[in-house]
Amino acid sequence: MRVLVTGSAGRVGRAIHARLCLEHDVLGLDQTPSPSTDLVGDITDSTFMRNALRGVDAVVHAAALHAPHVGAVDDDVFERVNVQSTRALADLAVDAGVGQLVFTSTTALYGSTPTLTHAASWINETVEPQPRTIYHRTKLAAEALLEALARRGELAVTVLRMSRCFPEPAPLMTAYRIHRGVDARDVADAHALALHTTQPGFRRFVISGATPFEAEDVHELVLDAPAVLARRAPALVEAFARRGWALPISIDRVYSPALALRELGWQARYGFDEVLRMLDAGSAEVLAAAP
């Protein structure tokens, strides 16, 4: 299958490109030249995008302005890049006979979802997002327009809402990996499976690292996270103790990837132990803990 990956020069885009190249004929597209970029250009350029879509069977749309751009880029630019260009890409894909589109979205959309003081939020696809920033709002708007197009039967669309996936201080990143973080390689696997399991219409999945927690833990996670961790994740507790790190006192949310496991057959392979391995190997993907 010939797959066009937009945003192929970014961290997640590179991981997706590398993963899909194992099985497909992949074209990477980005405005930044890189080893994973075959087509250099602007996704807001309709002529460039029309030519890029020739002969393409599926599109993975990972290109976007992100959270770090908030405040540094005008809101109308966010609207143009994240919403208008997504609409134009989808329309051009339909015109070009593309069968499916996988959209890389974010669990940051849930950022303002109310969390009760006495219970953590158990976040899955049924929870209504409450976006805070222009980044969140434009990603949600892009999801909505793609859903409307898919519901009309014009294109099969899968939205993947990925959780935190960027370098952070090691203790934070290690703890997040079991309730609100994910490895870029696991995100890439989810995109590959979305292409393999395509079906008409619209699908949406939360993509986050495997969690040992159960929905019944939500009250105790807020009040006494170390007790729950001792019960559910003793290996993590031991690793924190060995390194002299303090466990999180309270955990306010858990992103559940259960639907992706059930319907895509996706399961995260790189858990908290991989974060520790990367830290010890000096990987730039994990920031050193503060002394």
Active site residue 135: yes
Determine whether 265 is exposed, middle or buried from the number of CB atoms within 10 Å of its CB (0-12, 13-18, 19+): exposed
Topology of domain 2-115+123-209+257-266, per CATH?
A: Rossmann fold (3.40.50)
Determine the average pLDDT of the residues in 213-220.
Answer: 96
Q: Provide the percentage of residues in the chain whose pLDDT is more than 70.
A: 98
For 87-99, write each residue's pLDDT tens digit.
999 999 999 999 9
Determine the average pLDDT of the residues in 263-286.
Answer: 96
| Beta strand 25-30 pairing with 2-6 | parallel
Q: Which of 67-81, 101-115, 223-237 has the highest mean pLDDT?
A: 223-237
Residue 116 has pLDDT above 60, yes or no: no
The Cα angle at residue 177 between residues 175 and 181, in degrees rounded to 5: 120
Helix axes 184-196, 11-20, angle to 10 degrees: 50
Q: Which residues of 212-224 are buried (b: 16+ CB within 10 A; e: fewer)?
A: bbeeebbebbbee
Which H or E run includes 105? strand 100-106
The dihedrals phi and psi of 156, each to the nearest 5 degrees, come to -80, 125
Name the residue among 149, 25, 140 with its Cα closest to residue 95. Answer: 149
For 238-272, write each residue's pLDDT tens digit.
999 999 999 999 999 999 999 999 999 999 999 99
* Distance in angstroms (rounded) separating the CA atoms of residues 151 and 153: 5
Q: What is the rounded average pLDDT for all residues in the chain?
A: 94
Name the residue among 210, 190, 286, 223 with its Cα closest to residue 254. Answer: 210
Domain ranges of the chain: 2-115+123-209+257-266
Q: Are 287 and 168 in contact (CB under 8 A)?
A: yes
Structure tokens at 46: 């309709």
pLDDT grade, residue 71 (50/70/90)? Answer: confident
For 138-176, write each residue's pLDDT tens digit.
999 999 999 999 999 989 999 999 999 999 999 999 999
| Catalytic pick among 110, 135, 255, 270 | 135
Task: Please list, in sequence order, all residues whose beta carbon lies within 8 angstroms of the beta carbon of residue 44, skipping any fewer than 6 positions away.
Answer: 80, 81, 84, 85, 88
